[in-house]
Chains A and B, each alone.
Chain A
Amino acid sequence: MAQQSMTMAKALNEGLRRAMEKDRKVLLMGEDIGKLGGVFRITDGLQKDFGEDRVIDAPLAESAIVGTSVGLAIRGYRTVVEIQFDGFVYPAFDQIVSQVAKLHKRSAGVYTMGLVIRLPFQGGIGAIEHHSESPEAYFVHTAGLRVVACSTPNDAYWMIQQAVEHDDPIIFCEPKSRYWEKGEVNLDAPPYGLFEAIVRRPGADVTVVAYGSMVKTALRAADVAAEEGVSLEVIDARSLSPLDLDTIAASVEKTGRLVVVQEAPPTASVGSEIVAAITERCFYSLRAPGTRVSAYHVPYPPSRIEDAYRPSVDRVMDAIDRVMGYDQ
């Protein structure tokens, strides 16, 4: 088995390279993705190897980056769009929800909107405003889109390739705080399907669902909980639309308790949806209310105090204590 240790940033780079080698219709478009290789260097070296026609440095207008990618899709191209930062996706919101999400439907299946919109998301890097947001729920709410989030280099490498090959439009969320963390990448075969949730750590007492940056936080909480004699089963949701509710429900039927950890604010969030859907499916298995550990309902704070905003191991443990407390 060919295996290699690399950062998530490098894994994305290698995954994109492989996707471009496989299909000449795959293009990349974004701001500063050519010579610079992107502000996070995800596309480093790709313009040099694939040319300016396939790795397109875009003028600075997000709506146009997505809107022209729609036109390229109609022409048969698959564009992987890089939105430089989560907070810059909103100028493209109309094109994403009104066009990308709907044109396959409106054309009765004639137009294939096989584009991927890469979104470096979530915080934790000490950035200034508009660089740390978690906008995934806007897109999860929109029919016609699919939304996934990677959390490890291996997933990043494979999920980006699976997303490029998929015929539906995919919002591809990348936890930028994990870009520089290394992990083993299996170069031979994808470990899971793109829309599968997976159990990162088996456990017996509480199902903890997380995605993106919060998977690592949840795993650290599981270590702490284990020392206290509580066994957490940590599930990496990976796909936020569609949600793999079967995997989550199977776990909750075993543990009877559900905690969702997310960097996004709680209202009408992915966590809300998971709790509601699991409550409908697993009501008689639940021994405590499904509980969200989220950011707060405030604009993303100045990053000097972001650690108080993003769910921490302590806040996850507080929720674990609460759901365990219902038995007493």
Chain B
Amino acid sequence: MISDELVQLLTPEGERIAHPEYASDLGHEEILGLYRDMVIVRRLCNESTSLQRQGQLALWAPLQGQEAAQIGAGRALAPMDFSFPSYREHGVAWTRGVPPRDMLRIFRATTTGGWDPQQYRHSLPMVVLGDQTLHAVGYAMGVQRDGADEAVMTFFGDGASSQGDVLESFVWAASFNAPVVFVLQNNQWAISEPTSLQTKIPLYHRAHGFGFPGVRVDGNDVLAMYEVAKRALDNARAGGGPTLIEAYTYRMGAHTTSDDPTRYRVDAEVEVWRHRDPIERVKALLAREYGVHKATFDEVAAEAEQLALQLREDVLAMDAPDPTMMFDHVYAEAHPLVEAGRREMIELGIGGSH
């Protein structure tokens, strides 16, 4: 059966509302933790946009508006779970412990990777839309073969939902009952194309056609995102197979720093979503329900400010690597063409101090 209901546990005004299937049992500290995460990733994202505007990054893909979707899903992951992001999941990377400076390396174009994906159990940013969903399912098939108590989560967007690889990953996940959770952040826009161009039905309904459950969640409600993701992950670990979570949210900013959203969408729409801000509602809840004072919010803001300053410092210190790094790790074992290229570059004095 397909439910048309949007799972929401916290209204935009910060009021808790009951849901027949999901309830949040997170306490004061945990909710404050989610608030802190969201404030920090938004601040780091703003700093990254500034860095791009100042010519310090080649590109930036802002996450504004999607903090709850990413933090809620990311914090639901267990330490041994593995996540496969697209390219906007800075919030998820934060929950996995990836240092912010490492997230920015690819955007400063000093590397095509950025971090050790096995260390953080979080794969590398994926720019070709949807490719990572197949990697997630394959990884989950490996988890099954290992008999491990682990689940896998993968992230993609409303635009990528049209990609063949995403739909093939649904087939595979269903056929092999893979322990994978698909998190589709429907932020309403794929650069300039509205979700209505990608689909004629609610995206989470698609899961039903593939034979596994789909749930639409208020993607701006971090409590709902956390609970739905946690249950889907638990279900996957218990052998219950895949779940599609459609996080219904909004991309408040541009697609990337190269985009100009004023060419294709109206301010009034953005304003509607501004009132559904994922951070403000949690702040209201914390203040009202737990009596959290301004001083605490100020502390969080100050911590975010400090991290942003540190990020700026780290990014400015990232120099172009030695050109011979392009020859490293192309192959696991020596390849004559790669080695010939390295030798030539060193002989010509273009690179290679080592």
Contact = CB atoms under 8 A, between A and B. Distances in A.
A109 B328 CA distance: 8
B128 A106 contact: no
Interface stretch (B14-22, B115-123, B248-256, B266-274): B115-123
Contacts, number: 139
A71 B165 contact: no
B332 A167 contact: yes
B164 A67 contact: no
Contacts of B168: 59, 61, 63-64, 67
A167 B158 CA distance: 36
B134 A105 contact: no
A102 interface: yes
Nearest to B84: A71
Contacts of B137: 64, 67-68, 71
Interface in B102-144: 111-113, 116-118, 123-124, 128, 131, 133-144
Contacts of A177: none
A242 B337 CA distance: 7
A198 interface: no
B172 interface: yes
A109 B134 CA distance: 21
B205 to A, nearest CB: 21
A246 to B, nearest CB: 9
Given A64-B165, A75-B139, A168 B116 contact: no
Interface string A76-116: 11000000000000010011001100111111111111100
A114 B333 CA distance: 11
A144 interface: yes
A71 B171 contact: no
A85 to B, nearest CB: 19
Q: Name the residue among A68, A103, A167 with the largest chain B CB count within 10 angstroms.
A: A68
Nearest to A27: B145
A107 B332 contact: no
B145 A68 contact: no
Contact of B164 (A63, A105, A114): A63
A187 interface: no
A226 B165 CA distance: 54
A324 interface: no
Interface of A: 27, 53, 59, 61, 63-64, 66-77, 91, 94-95, 98-99, 102-114, 143-144, 146, 166-168, 242, 245
Interface of B: 82, 84, 111-113, 116-118, 123-124, 128, 131, 133-146, 164-165, 168-169, 171-172, 175, 328-333, 335-338
Q: What 9 A-B pairs come out closest when comparing CB atoms?
A: A71-B138, A67-B134, A75-B142, A68-B138, A167-B332, A64-B168, A71-B139, A71-B135, A106-B113
Given A59-B168, A70-B138, A95-B165, 13 more contacts: A61-B172, A63-B164, A64-B165, A66-B134, A68-B134, A103-B124, A104-B330, A104-B331, A104-B332, A108-B113, A113-B332, A168-B333, A242-B336
